[in-house]
């Protein structure tokens, strides 16, 4: 497992993102996949792809009307296995209610894709005006939902998996603070409370106007810090759920789709949301014998690669 969850190109580390021909899938129609923030963009495309593959897909969104419309649109395409459930990952009550619904209605979960995220910057701006909302959604929200759903995973090392949609903006090579880099690289000592303190320190500096020049990532700083925290949490969670034969039974990986044309990028980008969703679905459905944990995957056309 990479201590930095960083990524480098390597011929040996390329992953195919579609099942090989004539291979029986490991999943069935009873396999449950939850995709957050899926009423549009990459999340919607990913949910559609998983439904096309025959899984039971729970599409979530904060806005009930938009979420239901998004799910209905997929069902109108013949994807009858798509269900909508309202979820605000920043609201503890909403997260608890969602977890209870998954338990009572579906009996558990096999795949969680933490896709819900926000950014309020234009392509060429770097405001931190909404930093608290960004971190509360992109990091704290993803973490809160993950912890709420962990008891509901079916705990099969072959099938249970979490895929966090992240960004290379949150990689350690974007951090200019040597002490922070050392802390995040110290795999033996790093704890979740250290990551939360880092996030709190950033928000405190934003509040008092001292965040500039403190070694934080320089592009979309609030978004980058949220993904830096998510990447670090993902690495710790992967280690927590690992053990002999990965006894925890749930793999945890991150995926950076790259510069994709979505509402977040105001329509700018090198690829479409449908293309990114297809690649993300391929990672979420990797065959059990190819399924790693604790990896950061980056899509660099035409391959997805990770540092092992």
Which pairing describes strands 295-300 and 303-305: parallel, antiparallel, or unpaired? antiparallel
Retrieve residue 259's tokens: 């510069």
| Sign of the alpha-carbon dihedral angle for 34, 37, 40, 43 | negative
Q: Which entry of 140, 223, 233, 305 is annotated as an active-site residue?
A: 223
Contact criterion met (CB below 8 Å) for 237 and 254: no
Which pairing describes strands 32-35 and 271-272: parallel, antiparallel, or unpaired? unpaired
284/15 Cα distance (integer angstroms): 12
Contact criterion met (CB below 8 Å) for 184 and 240: no
163/283 Cα distance (integer angstroms): 8
Active site residue 140: no
For 236, counting Cβ atoms within 10 Å of its Cβ (0-12 exposed, 13-18 middle, 19+ buried), the class is middle
Residues with a known catalytic role: 223
């Amino acid at each position: 497992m990479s201590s930095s969850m960083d990524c480098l190109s390597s011929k040996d580390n390329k992953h195919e993102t579609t099942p090989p021909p004539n291979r029986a899938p490991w999943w069935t129609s009873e396999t449950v996949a939850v995709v957050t923030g899926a009423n549009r963009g990459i999340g919607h495309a990913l949910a559609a792809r998983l439904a096309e593959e025959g899984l039971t897909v729970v599409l979530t969104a904060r806005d009930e009307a938009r979420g239901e419309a998004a799910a209905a649109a997929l069902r109108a395409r013949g994807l009858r296995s798509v269900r909508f459930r309202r979820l605000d990952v920043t609201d503890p009550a909403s997260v608890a209610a969602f977890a209870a619904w998954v338990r009572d209605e579906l009996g558990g979960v096999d795949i969680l894709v933490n896709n819900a995220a926000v950014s309020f910057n234009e392509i060429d701006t770097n405001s931190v005006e909404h930093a608290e909302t960004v971190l509360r959604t992109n990091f704290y929200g993803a973490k809160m939902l993950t912890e709420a759903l962990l008891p509901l995973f079916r705990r099969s090392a072959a099938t249970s998996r979490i895929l966090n949609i992240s960004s290379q903006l949150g990689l350690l090579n974007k951090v200019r603070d040597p002490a922070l880099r050392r802390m995040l690289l110290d795999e033996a000592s790093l704890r979740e409370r250290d990551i939360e303190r880092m996030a709190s320190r950033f928000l405190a500096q934003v509040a008092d106007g001292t965040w500039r020049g403190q070694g934080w990532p320089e592009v979309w700083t609030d978004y980058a810090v949220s993904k830096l925290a998510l990447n670090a949490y993902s690495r710790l969670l992967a280690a927590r759920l690992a053990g002999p034969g990965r006894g925890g039974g749930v793999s945890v990986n991150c995926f950076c789709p790259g510069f994709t044309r979505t509402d977040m990028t105001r329509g700018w980008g090198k690829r479409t949301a449908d293309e990114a969703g297809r690649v993300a679905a391929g990672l979420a459905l990797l065959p059990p014998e190819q399924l790693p944990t604790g990896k950061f995957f980056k899509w660099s056309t035409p391959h997805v690669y990770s540092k092992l």
